[in-house]
Amino acid sequence: MRIDALLAAGPTRSFEFMPPKTDDETAQLEATLDDLAPLAPSFVSVTHRGGEASRQRTFDLVTRIEREGATTAMAHLICVGHTRAEMREVLERYGAAGVANVMALGGDVPSGEHAASEFAHAIDLVDLVREVGGFAVGVAAHPLGHPRSPDRSSDRRHLADKLARADFAVTQFFFRADEWSELVDELAALGVNRPVLPGIMPVTSLASVDRMATMGAAVPNELVARLRMADARGGARAVRAVGVDAATELARELLARHAPGLHFYTLNRSTATREIHRTLFESRDD
């Protein structure tokens, strides 16, 4: 199904995966897919780091998920460093394989690959997706602003222009519900009311705190303090429990604020996502 139709029908639950590069990563992903299948996600998305090899791995995983028919899959596409003809061919391949959903991203030119590009930003790819036709198209949103945006107001204007041409957005992970609400309100003030799916990634170790900051969203000081207190009292297991609890609290608050769904960044592992899902939905469904 198209994701815009799924969102129109009610709140969605979605998971994000990375295409594996090694046999060990493949085995890990296979186990994760099996573990998460009973949760019946509305859709799953598959990332693309840039470059021809990564693009092919994304294509192989997305088309396999679609063939198996258990859930809807969305492919991430990176346009910077490519020509329109190349991206048109990629879109046509996905369409021929029965894939109806794509995430249009800008990205960076991969190291060692040619830099000739007919795309400057993700909005250019959104326009091409519309020209080819047949796809629901999502775009990325950053509650705290894109790292390359000079200021918040210009970030919101560019995002509003991009999202007005797309069907929905998925946010970078964040940690305060107010950040999602403010993003949605600021887009509405610019006349854009497309669904904005909040992205959630639990902090499962103290080591991940610094990594998350480099990935685009710093862990708030109050959560870092909770994690350090847990570490002092119970070590790594206690830190993980606090991180999962904090992500669950965030997800519950977002649902209370009528978020159109929840999008979980899994890092190809299932345990934390299953625990959050069980607390939010399964106990309520019993």
pLDDT band at 286 (very low <50, low <70, confident <90, very high): very low
Name 73's bridge partners.
Answer: 44
- Tell me how far apart the alpha carbons of residues 109 and 129 are, in angstroms, rounded to a whole number: 20
- Tell me how far apart the alpha carbons of residues 120 and 162 are, in angstroms, rounded to a whole number: 13
What percent of the chain has pLDDT above 90?
82
pLDDT at 113: 53
281 or 43, greater pLDDT: 43
25 is an active site residue: no
Mean pLDDT of the chain, nearest integer:
93
Tens-digit pLDDT profile for residues 55-72: 899 999 999 999 998 899
Which of the given ranges, 43-52, 100-109, 229-238, has the highest pLDDT on average?
229-238
Query: With contact defined as beta carbons under 8 Å apart, do 81 and 110 qualify?
Result: yes
Tens-digit pLDDT profile for residues 108-148: 655 555 456 789 899 999 999 999 999 999 999 999 998 88
pLDDT band at 52 (very low <50, low <70, confident <90, very high): confident
SS3 143: coil
pTM value is: 0.94
Beta strand pairing call for 101-105 and 168-173: unpaired
pLDDT at 49: 73
For the chain, which domains are there? 3-280 (3.20.20.220)
The tokens 């710093």 sit on which residue? 218
* Mean pLDDT calculated for residue range 174-184: 97
- Tell me how far apart the alpha carbons of residues 246 and 230 are, in angstroms, rounded to a whole number: 12
- Tell me how far apart the alpha carbons of residues 90 and 129 are, in angstroms, rounded to a whole number: 10
Angle separating helix axes 122-132 and 152-165, nearest 10 degrees: 10
Query: With contact defined as beta carbons under 8 Å apart, do 104 and 144 qualify?
Result: no
Angle separating helix axes 152-165 and 177-189, nearest 10 degrees: 70
Residue in 16, 66, 179, 186 annotated catalytic: 16
